[in-house]
Chain A
Amino acid sequence: MIRRPACIVLACVLFQGFLSMGFQLVASRLLAPFFGTTIIVWAFLISTFLAAFSAGSFLGGALSQLPVRQRVNALVILGAAGTAGFAIAGFLGRPLLNYLDLTFADATPGIFIGCLLLFFVPVIALSALLPIYADLIGKKRGAGLSSGLVYGTSTLGNITGVMLTAFVLIPNVPTSELLIGWFVGSTFCFAAAPALVRWPFPA
C-alpha cells in the first residue's frame, strides 16, 4: 500500500483556502457593475460566504462519518454540485445579475438573491472538504492536532487567496477570465478529494 502523505492533504487544504476567500473578492467584482461596491453589497457577500462556510462545515462533518465507499460517492456528488456552481457563476452570473438588477427597484433583494444563487452552493461544497480532510489527517494524530493543522493551513490559504487576488489577479485579469480560472481550479480541488479519501491505493 502507498501511504497517504499528510503534506498532500494539506496542499489540497491550502488550495481550498485560496479558492474560498479569493472567490469572495472575485464575486465582489462580478456584483460591482450591477449593484456597486457599497457596504450593503459587502454585508450580503460576507454573510453569504460565512453561511456557506458554516453549512459546508456541518455537511462535511456529517460526510466524514460515512464509510469510505459512501463518502467517495458523496464527494463525487458534492464536487459535481460545486463545479456546477462555479460554472453557473462564471458563465451565467452576468446575465442573472443583469436580470435581477432590472427586476427589483430596490437593490437589496437583487443582491441577496444574486449572492444566494451564485455563491452559496459552490462555497458550501468547498467548505465541506475541510472536515473530511481533518478526518483523513486525524486517523493517527487525533482530532485536536488534525483540526488545528487543517484550519491553520486553510486560513493561510485564505490569506494567500485574498492578497494574491486583490493585488495580482484583479488588477491584471478580467473578471470573466478569473471566474473561468476558479471553475477550473475548483474542478481540480473537487477531483482531488475523493482520490485522497480512497487512498491508500494498492501498490
Chain B
Amino acid sequence: MAKEILHVKDLKVEVEEKEILHGLSLSANEGEVHVIMGPNGAGKSTLGYSLMGHPSYIKTGGNISFLGEDITDEPTDKIAKRGMFLSFQNPVEVPGITLSNFIRNALEQRTGKHVRVWDFNKKLEATMSILQMDKDYAMRDLNVGFSGGEKKKAEILQLLLLAPSLAILDETDSGLDVDAVRTVSQGIEEYKKQVNGALLIITHSTKILEALSVDKVHVLVDGRIVAEGGSELVDEINKSGFERYIS
C-alpha cells in the first residue's frame, strides 16, 4: 500500500477572527496528484498557507498529520524541514541573497548537511535548462526584477532541487502565457519522475492540468469540500464551471 504523506482531519482555520475553513478533511499518498479547485474566495490559498503553518492562519480545530507526525502547531521552518514545500502564487522579492545561494541554503536546512558548491552548481544548471531559465538568473538577487513567468519558474526550480515529500502549488499557472504554462508543467512532470512525493495543485483554471494525470479532484467552495472525484471532475468544471456547487 502506498505510504500516506498528508492527512488533514476536520481542519478549521480563522484569519483575523473570521473562520475561512469550516472543517476540511483530505489525505494524499505518495505518487498521487491532487487538485484543489474552486471559485475565488473559496479558501484554496488559505488551505496552502495553513498547511505550511502561516502564523496569521489560526487553527481552531482539527489536525494535520504529515509523514505520520502531527504538525498542526509547528512553526513554518520546522514543517519545511520535514519536507513540505509551498510554491507561492506571488513569490516575494528578497534583495541581498542570490537565487543560487538561497536554494543552496534551503537545501542545507532541509538535509542538515553541507552541500558542496561544485555539485550543487552542476545540478542547478541542469535543472534551469529543463525549465528554460537563463542561467544568469542564478546569480541575481532572489526574484528581484524577475518577470511573473520567471518568478514562477524560480519556484519550480526550488521544487526540483529541494525534492520535498509534499509539494503544494498555489495558482502556479496564473498569469502565465501558454509557453510558460507548458514549461511549468514539464517541471512538475520532472518532479513526479524524480520524487515519489505527493502533489497538491491549487488552481481555479484547468490549463495546467491538461498535461498531467490527476488522481483526485477536490472541489472547495466557501471553506468546505463539496465534491470529490477523479479527473472527470476537471472536464465537467471546464464545461459548466462551479455554478452547480454554489448554493
Bound pair (A, B): no
